[in-house]
Each structure stands twice: as structure tokens, then as C-alpha cells.
Amino acid sequence: LGDEIIYDHGDPNDFPGSRGVKHVVKSRCILMCLLDTPAGLIRVVTTHFTVSDLCTETSQMYEMACLTASLIDNAKSYPTIFSGDLNIRAKSYSVSKLSEVMTCHTNEFTDTLAKDHISKEKDFPEGLAIDHVFSKDMDLVDINANDVSFSEHKALVSNFSLNTDLL
């Protein structure tokens, strides 16, 4: 559906300021699962927010953040890891909303894009942190952004420890 709407009016590259419109018609989802570990169940959640021009926050991003925060807050309490390509900076309403129910571990990151990401050529030569990691009822041990050859984003590798008193 999205491609039909966009391509009926020409090549999307002919409308460089409308990148967000192309992506807003794509559906988005939140993937949530429970992992059975020797220490007990852990909830893992991920999503991919819509894309916007210059990674400016949109109402769709905020709506996804509200929905995700509600799912985390109202679901049965399990230690939780949430990570995703949110396409927004840490200083945003959406990250603030998610931080109401989880701890954000990527506030200090300044760049999660791979060195060959196309936006590094002109849009964000200084880098941009748009991938984020949160947790609830877990302790972050460490987190690193590593260059990888298979993605235009760096791999955010996070290590957590469980507070077994909460299980």
C-alpha cells in the first residue's frame, strides 16, 4: 500500500523533504516475548519507530512510545529489556515517556550509525544516536556500540545482571 501511494506520484527521491511521509504509511509493530532463563522469565521487547526527515520526532513516534510504555507498565511484572531503532535522539518526548517506566541506558551515546551510513555524508556528519536500550528491574553491567559489517547501524551490545530478589 505504501509504495503504491508514494510511487503513484513519482520517485520518492524526487521529494527529498518527504522521506517521513513515505515511511509513515508503513505499519509498525512491537515484538514482545518471554525468555525462560535459569534465573526465571525475562521479557524482551523491540520495535522500529517510523523514519522522519533529519530524525525529528513525530506524533507517530510518540504514540508508539506511549503504547510501548503502557504495555510495559500494565503487563505482568518481569525483568525487561527493551531496545530498538527509534530514529530519534535521546532528548525527546518519546524517550522521556519510555523512561517513565524503564531506565534508558543510551542517554550519553552520541553516535549509533555505522561509519558508512549514508546520512554521515551530509545530514549528520557528526553522528547521531537513534538506537536505544532500556531495562526494568535489571542492572546494566555494560553497553558498547560496535561497528559491524552487516548493518548501517552499530550493534549495541548490552550486558545485564538480574536482581534475583525480584524473581
pLDDT single digits (tens) 72-128 = 999 888 999 999 989 888 889 999 999 999 999 999 988 887 777 776 667 665 667
Domain extents in the chain: 2-166
Q: Is 38 in contact with 31 (CB distance < 8 Å)?
A: no
What is the per-residue pLDDT for 165?
A: 64
Residues 6+ apart with CB under 8 A from 166: 79, 137
What is the per-residue pLDDT for 2?
A: 47
CATH code for the part of the protein at 2-166: 3.60.10.10
pLDDT single digits (tens) 42-80 = 999 999 888 777 777 888 889 999 999 999 999 888 999
Q: Between 135 and 40, name the one with better pLDDT.
A: 135
pLDDT above 80: residue 19: no
pLDDT above 90: residue 152: no
Among 19, 42, 12, 11, CA closest to 119: 19
